[in-house]
Each structure stands twice: as C-alpha cells, then as structure tokens.
Chain A
Amino acid sequence: DQQVKQNSPSLSVQEGRISILNCDYTNSMFDYFLWYKKYPAEGPTFLISISSIKDKNEDGRFTVFLNKSAKHLSLHIVPSQPGDSAVYFCAATPTGNQFYFGTGTSLTVIP
C-alpha cells in the first residue's frame, strides 16, 4: 500500500512559469519530507526538505509547502527552466531510517 502518492505522472510547463508538483501521504507519523530530482540514467539527487515543525521552506527557485492537516506537500519551482525537466520524487520518513518514496512526476519545461 503506497504511503506516499504522487497522483500526477507528468506535468508540462512553459519556461518562466511556475511548476507545482504535488504529493500526498497517509501516515501521520511522517515528520520529515524531502524532494529529489532524477535525470535519466542517473540516481536521484536531493533538492529540498522540510520538517513537520515548519509549513514552508525556500531555497532559491524552489519552495516546499507542507499542510499537515491535509497530509499534503507541494514543490513550487519559480521560474521554471528547461534544465528543470526531470522526474521529481517526494519522500517521507517517520524516523530518519525508513524512507518512503512516491512514484514520481515527470516535469517537462517547454522553452
């Protein structure tokens, strides 16, 4: 049973616009959340994270929002660039040992 869900397999956005990637989770014990970016034939690379004590974390063009009551987090990329085209995975952990990943959203940024 998937505890972390990314319901949009793909997303296309024009260059310069905002990309919003969504992630839902079911386990209320999750208290640390991460986003990873993955290019083809490479391993995922860490992008940004957020602890459950916060509702927002920002790093340059990337912002993660956490809504604990809705068990929902989102990643905003502003402005989107062609180099952002990749698969994005959200992940969550209750303990820092066991991590649960979503199925990924493939983002295409159109020049």
Chain B
Amino acid sequence: NAGVTQTPKFQVLKTGQSMTLQCAQDMNHNSMYWYRQDPGMGLRLIYYSASEGTTDKGEVPNGYNVSRLNKREFSLRLESAAPSQTSVYFCASSEAAGQGTAHTFGSGTRLTVV
C-alpha cells in the first residue's frame, strides 16, 4: 500500500532552471495538495486540487504552476527556479475537500536552488 508517492526525493537546481515535482496517490482520493516547509514557517499551502479537473491557489502560489493530470496524479512545476524556492515540498491527498478529512502526506522532496 504505497499511499502518496513523490519523485524525486532530492534535487539540486541552478537558478533559472525548470523542473516538475511528481506526485501520485493510490487511495482513490479526490483532493490533492502541494505544501512547502521552511524552517520556522511550518507547512504552507502552494496549490490544491479539490477534485479532478480543478486547481486553486493556496497561501504561496507565486512562482509555481500545477497540473491535475488525472485523479491519481498532481504535479508541481517550477518554471524558473529561484533560491527562495529552496525548501522541502510535500504532496498530500485526502478523500475529499471539506470537514472531517485528514491529509495523507508523501515523504517529501528536498529541493535546493543554487
């Protein structure tokens, strides 16, 4: 039972490079999320997808784009990486958006932008 799988686990980018973080869940969840975790800041929501075919901005969306490819997959793209995007990125899913649902998180992607 894999749950939420994120790839890659580690990545180093040069400023200005682009990359896509991949996320897939096998729990038939409707909602998916991308967070970043920075020291002293907790987890902050970047984008979420309440259901297949929809995406919405979270607290810190600037510099990112997302694609809900299908019900299973939700990718996060950095078009032109900046050092301020150095962070640990977590993907999560939940059965549905709304009250009474908790996230299942992936193990994270540690991204360094130099």
Beta-carbon contacts under 8 Å, A70-89 to B: 89
Q: B99, B102, B108: which contacts A46 (Cβ < 8 A)?
A: B102
CA of A2 to CA of B108, assembled, Å? 22
CA of A42 to CA of B6, assembled, Å? 11
Assess whether A98 is interfacial by the CB under 8 Å rule: yes
Beta-carbon contacts under 8 Å, B29-72 to A: 31, 33, 35, 40-45, 48, 50, 56, 58-59
CA of A46 to CA of B100, assembled, Å? 12
**Which of A46, A95, A97, A100 has the most C-beta atoms of chain B within 10 angstroms of its own C-beta?**
A97
User: What chain B residues lie within 8 Å of A102 (beta carbons)?
Assistant: 42
User: What chain A residues lie within 8 Å of B50 (beta carbons)?
Assistant: 97
User: What chain A residues lie within 8 Å of B43 (beta carbons)?
Assistant: 44, 89, 91, 101
Q: B44, B45, B48, B106: which contacts A43 (Cβ < 8 A)?
A: B106
CA of A51 to CA of B101, assembled, Å? 11
- B20 CB, nearest partner CB in chain A, Å: 19
Assess whether B27 is interfacial by the CB under 8 Å rule: no
Q: A32, A36, A98: which contacts B45 (Cβ < 8 A)?
A: A98
CA of A102 to CA of B56, assembled, Å? 21
CB distance A101 to B44 under 8 Å?
A: yes
Interface residues of A (CB under 8 A from B): 2, 4, 6, 31-32, 34, 36, 41-46, 49, 51, 89, 91, 93, 95-104
19 extra interchain contacts, Cβ-Cβ under 8 A, other than A95-B97, A96-B97, A100-B45?
A4-B42, A6-B42, A36-B105, A43-B92, A43-B108, A45-B105, A46-B103, A49-B102, A93-B99, A97-B48, A98-B45, A98-B48, A98-B58, A99-B45, A101-B35, A101-B42, A101-B43, A101-B44, A103-B40
Can you list 24 A-B contacts (CB < 8 A)? Answer: A2-B41, A2-B42, A4-B42, A32-B99, A32-B100, A34-B102, A36-B105, A41-B108, A42-B108, A43-B105, A43-B106, A45-B105, A46-B102, A46-B103, A49-B100, A93-B99, A96-B100, A97-B31, A97-B48, A97-B50, A98-B45, A102-B42, A103-B41, A104-B42
